[in-house]
Amino acid sequence: MLKIDTMKYLTIIFNLIFIICNTSSCKYIPEKDLNIPSDFVESIIPESGSKEWYELNHSRYEFEVKMINNKLKVNEYKWNINSEVSKLKISNGNLVGIYQGEWGGVLLFVPNDTTQDTITIKKGTIKFIFSYRNGIYFIEGCAHMGTSIGALYKIDTIDNKFLYSKILDFEDAPEAYTIYKDKIFIASHESFYVVQDFKKKLVFSKTFWCSLYPNSIAVIDESNVYIGIRSGIIKLDLSTNDNIRFFKYYKQ
């Protein structure tokens, strides 16, 4: 009968695991290595509308996430009136988007030359204005009374006039966005989209974070993404399309 050197066998297995997990295919990054504060504890994801979800919805605390020096940073998010205003500086002035929820909003051009008039480009619920692929884009979105919609637009300037064209519609209102390696990541009212080459992919839909108001996105890599929400933070695994983890805030 063939004898097996157990220690040698285990050493070979360990080395294989080490090699595999040091290749680009090993995406998982332990939370302890990402500086998640100790007062965030992984919790069971509640069903929307449940007692546990209701408690999250009525939490006094909201949190934003950022990547700083390849480390996840979590801070308390404080809403103020400036949270509903987005700006983008261009050569001769500023594009200003104002979001007023169900009461609407507006996209303006405010010239540097104060003798010139402010121009109204578009009325709508303007959430974000940003530069992307040498162009200028803005995102609309509004969730109210059972309606949740949004859209991505491109702005062009022709003969000193601002024109806009719709690129994409969203079936759910965008709440937060970020750009990572030429992809646009969007956390909406209860869904998550990835936009690549101006084609959208709905990765998660009808999630528990409905009405928990996503406010920020931190991207570790193309698979591992964090979202800041009311009551805690969320970890998404985009490689599986079904892995959502929730880290609830517990005040010490």
Summarised one tens digit per residue, pLDDT across range 209-236 is 999 999 999 999 999 999 999 999 999 9
Higher pLDDT, residue 81 or 224: 224
Residue 190, in any domain of the structure: no
| Helix (H/G/I), strand (E/B), else coil: 132 | strand
Q: Does the predicted model carry a pTM greater than 0.75? A: yes
Residue 65, in any domain of the structure: yes
Same domain, residue pair 88 and 160: yes
With a CB cutoff of 8 Å and minimum separation 6, the contacts of 124 are 104, 105, 106, 107, 140
Final residue before a domain boundary, out of 170, 194, 219: 170
Reported in sequence order, the residue ranges of 91-231 that DSSP labels E, i.e. its strands, are 93-99, 105-111, 119-123, 126-132, 135-144, 147-158, 161-170, 174-180, 183-188, 192-196, 199-204, 216-219, 224-229
Two structure tokens written together for 107: 């996209």
pLDDT band at 1 (very low <50, low <70, confident <90, very high): very low
Q: How far apart are CA 68 and CA 211, in angstroms?
A: 27
Closest CA to 63 of 249, 250, 221, 199: 249
Final residue before a domain boundary, out of 150, 170, 190: 170
pLDDT band at 198 (very low <50, low <70, confident <90, very high): very high
Residue 225, in any domain of the structure: yes
Looking at the predicted structure, is the pLDDT value of residue 139 above 60?
yes
Same domain, residue pair 67 and 100: no
Task: Kindly report, residue by residue over 142-153, the tens digit of the pLDDT.
Answer: 988 778 999 999
- Contact, 215 vs 25, CB < 8 A? no
Residue 157, in any domain of the structure: yes
Same domain, residue pair 129 and 157: yes
Same domain, residue pair 101 and 40: no
Same domain, residue pair 135 and 89: yes
Number of domains in the chain: 2
* The predicted structure's pLDDT at residue 32: 65
Least confident of 16-20, 83-87, 101-105, 151-155: 16-20
* The predicted structure's pLDDT at residue 205: 93
Residue 2, in any domain of the structure: no
Residue 55, in any domain of the structure: yes
Same domain, residue pair 101 and 139: yes
Domain residue limits at 115:
81-170
* The predicted structure's pLDDT at residue 99: 92
* The predicted structure's pLDDT at residue 82: 65
Two structure tokens written together for 50: 């449940």
Same domain, residue pair 88 and 164: yes
* The predicted structure's pLDDT at residue 2: 45
Q: Phi and psi at residue 82, in whole multiples of 5°? A: -70, -15
Mean pLDDT in residue range 66-73: 92
Same domain, residue pair 108 and 163: yes
Looking at the predicted structure, is the pLDDT value of residue 43 above 90?
yes
Same domain, residue pair 94 and 67: no
| Helix (H/G/I), strand (E/B), else coil: 14 | helix
* The predicted structure's pLDDT at residue 15: 47
Same domain, residue pair 110 and 61: no
Q: What does pLDDT average to over the chain? A: 87
pLDDT band at 65 (very low <50, low <70, confident <90, very high): very high
Q: Residue 142 forms beta bridges with which residues?
A: 149
Residue 166, in any domain of the structure: yes
Looking at the predicted structure, is the pLDDT value of residue 86 above 90?
yes
Residue 178, in any domain of the structure: no
Final residue before a domain boundary, out of 123, 146, 170: 170
Neighbours of 98 (CB within 10 A): 17
Count CA within 13 A, CB hemisphere, residue 90.
20
Same domain, residue pair 85 and 61: no
Same domain, residue pair 156 and 118: yes
